[in-house]
Amino acid sequence: MINDLRTMVWKEFKVQFRGQTKKTSYIRQLMAPIVLAGIFPITWGPEWVNEFPALIIAFITPAVIIGVMIPDSFAGERERHTLDTLLASRLSDRTILFGKIIVPLIVGWGAALVFTLISLVVVNLAHSENGVLLYTPTISAGIIFLSFLSASLLAGGGILTSLASSSTQEATQKLLTFILVPAMVVQITPLLFQDQISKTLNLLNGNQILIALGGILVITDMIIFILALKKFQRSEMYML
Amino acid sequence: MKSITSQSLAIQTSAMSRSFGSLTAVDHLSLEVQSGTIFGFLGPNGAGKTTTIRLLLGLLSPSSGQSKVLGFDTRTQADMIRAQTGALLEHSGIYERLSAEDNLEFYGRIYRMSASERKNRIKELLTQMDLWKRQNELAGKWSRGMKQRLALARALLHKPKLVFLDEPTAGLDVISAAEIRKYLQIMAEQENITVFLTTHNMAEVEEICSQVAVIKNGKLIAKGSPQELRSRKNGQRIVIEGSGFSEDLITRINQRPEIHLIQQESDQLVLEPYDRSGRSDLVSWLVQQGVQIDEVRHESESLEDAFINLMEERND
């Protein structure tokens, strides 16, 4: 299984990052996190290292990277007529599925860590009058774990939409819906339940909020991955 | 099913069926494919050929019936089947953003070939397919014929015991198709692999297949060697060149019980008797009727004619 996964990852890296068009597309998509990592820490000041906004980069970067990579996973192979041959090989369903998830996940999460480090360098360059600034343990844990969990959520959701699409374009549109609808709900809910939410948040400290958020993401990730495992079965791919 | 573990059979199916809702794509298909042969699987578009290949690869489960490939049950041992077979399906399945070598490298790794084994085998196959000098080029820039050759190399990479080839020469120019056929024959002979080939090209079937099966609407309607298929309904035509083929004579020939079909083209008469006996009697009878005969030829029905006849019979 591990060797097979390595093989899938090897192929996915080659296919994803080969070609000038692909590289240009990634660079264009990364402009938003690059600007955020460069500007936010300067405007926020030294408090950047112990405030929750530092987590914004850790959430946005994987979304941007995975949003570009994951729709191509199954829908792209289907579109380019390479999926049939892959399914006719000896690789197991799980190997193919996880091979497709791992690469966007690693790249998205890795980029999130790199950009939060860049923003740390920027805040130090701009506001390090009182010595070196470092992220607090809570923010560091948030960056490392929450960015991984949110990247997993997007990768899992992206795989589900890609599995259910016949083209990369269709998969991209479905993924946008997958991202935007919950984002709208998250934005509207505080307006509707402002009092209850502020009361609850007042009862919790920063660590507890992160743990609660992490817990919700872990459960959601598990549900998404179970759905993806159920959805991706060879015999299901050939139903008329 | 008789002797299902027989080593001599690469494929054995018994009343294998597959339905999608109300549509029966494969209907009680019983096949036996001998190991080491090139087996032609023929049928019109939508006959169920691709579904049959998917069933045999264990990508789909049969709705009913049994099927074994290389001795493995397609329902329960599909992983074993896919590990020991190669496939060139409807599309080449080549990754266009990868080089030719990387395409083969990927599948070599999938089939757990060692690094040295992969290196040697890739060089061997690409050299045989006349692609070695372009190994590092992106496959997406290649012609269809070159991609098909690369796909064939990929299907044969891990030295499978059986390869499924779904219309490997479709859409290729004459030279590319001939090259694919040549490579196929060489591979089958040198590596003793069984080839399960679907094609619409009857000349191809006659050239390389030792056994064929014909399906229509998912049902098997004929099987045997190409020669047997051609002579299925005696398959012989008598071409008589000469003069004196009057309308009255044609009417009288039509009344003869041994004649199945008659065609007249100026000074040529083409007769299809029901069986091979009584041909000399027929010629003698024509001479007695005053026909001036210059030449009598016996022609075999082509495989294409036999195939078309089979399709028309089933439409009747």
How far apart, in whole angstroms, are the C-alpha atoms of residue B88 and residue B167?
8
**Cβ(B211)–Cβ(B225) under 8 Å?**
yes
Of chain A, the end-to-end C-alpha distance in Å amounts to 30
Considering CB atoms only, which of B20, B58, B96 is closest to A239? B20
What pLDDT is attached to residue B1? Answer: 42
Q: Say what the pTM is.
A: 0.80
Q: Which of residues 86-115 of B touch A (CB under 8 A)?
A: 87-98, 102, 106-107, 109-112
pLDDT at B92 > cutoff 60: yes
**Cβ(A159)–Cβ(A101) under 8 Å?**
yes
**Cβ(A143)–Cβ(A116) under 8 Å?**
yes
Q: Which chain A residues contact residue B52 at CB under 8 A?
A: none
Nearest in space to A68 (alpha carbons), one of A20, A104, A110, A113 = A104
pLDDT at B234 > cutoff 60: no
pLDDT at A197 > cutoff 80: no
Reduced to 3 states (helix: H, G, I; strand: E, B; else coil), residue B194 is strand
Q: Is the ipTM of this complex over 0.85?
A: no
The pLDDT-based confidence of B38 (bands split at 50, 70, 90) is very high
Q: Please give the mean pLDDT across all residues of chain B.
A: 87
CB contact under 8 Å between B110 and A91, yes or no, is yes
**Cβ(A175)–Cβ(A239) under 8 Å?**
no
The whole-number average pLDDT for the span B256-263 is 78
pLDDT at B315 > cutoff 60: no
**Cβ(B261)–Cβ(B248) under 8 Å?**
no
How far apart, in whole angstroms, are the C-alpha atoms of residue B213 and residue B229?
9
Q: Angle at the Cα of A189 (from A183 to A195), degrees rounded to 5?
A: 145
The pLDDT-based confidence of B277 (bands split at 50, 70, 90) is low
What pLDDT is attached to residue A22? Answer: 67
How far apart, in whole angstroms, are the C-alpha atoms of residue A157 and residue A71?
10
- Measured from the Cβ of residue B138, the count of other Cβ atoms closer than 10 Å reads 17
Percent of chain A predicted with pLDDT > 70: 97
- Shortest distance between the Cα of B76 and any Cα of chain A, in A, equals 13
Phi, psi for residue B22 in degrees, rounded to 5: -90, -5
Q: Specify the range with the lowest mean pLDDT, choosing from A75-84, A206-215, B260-269.
A: B260-269
The pLDDT-based confidence of A29 (bands split at 50, 70, 90) is confident
Residue of A nearest to B53 (CA): A88
**Cβ(B100)–Cβ(B131) under 8 Å?**
yes
